[in-house]
Amino acid sequence: MGNARPPASGNAQSRSPGGGVGAMLLFCPGCGNGLIVEEGQRCHRFACNTCPYVHNVTRKVTNRKYPKLKEVDDVLGGAAAWENVDSTAEPCPKCEHPRAYFMQLQTRSADEPMTTFYKCCNAQCGHRWRD
């Protein structure tokens, strides 16, 4: 009846956080190919189409892994990029503070004008916008 070791990684079917059903691929510990689920006489089993490996499923198999969101990088360089920039008389569209910090970056092709990025000088606001 093949190798008695359990299949490598995962489960055949699991519920995702959104309520849907997701399938996970299991691999044969003998040859490394994907396993299929077959209906046996007494229970379901994982079987390999390439080698004689078979593993009877005698209990519920689950393995839950939820993805972790990556931290989003600040494309303007974060707080350090705003440390030594100049300010100008540009009113904030959010809090109407009369001054804003600004920096200019070439975001498009060289024949296009530079993009001006603003940050409100009001420490409680800190709103960012571009021109």
- The 10s digit of each residue's pLDDT in 23-58 is 667 899 989 999 998 887 888 888 999 999 998 888
Mean pLDDT score of the chain = 80
Determine the CATH number of domain 79-130: 2.20.25.10
| Helix/strand number for the chain, H first, E second | 0, 9
Name the pTM for this structure: 0.44
Distances (CA, A) of 4 to 57, 59, 80: 11, 15, 58
- Rounded to an integer, what distance in angstroms lies between the CA atom of residue 105 and that of residue 92? 20
Q: Is the pLDDT of residue 10 over 50?
A: no
**Residue ranges of the domains in the chain?**
1-65, 79-130
User: Is 125 assigned to a binding site?
Assistant: yes
User: Is 121 assigned to a binding site?
Assistant: no
User: Is 120 assigned to a binding site?
Assistant: yes
The alpha carbon of 41 is separated from its chain's Cα centroid by a whole number of angstroms, namely 41
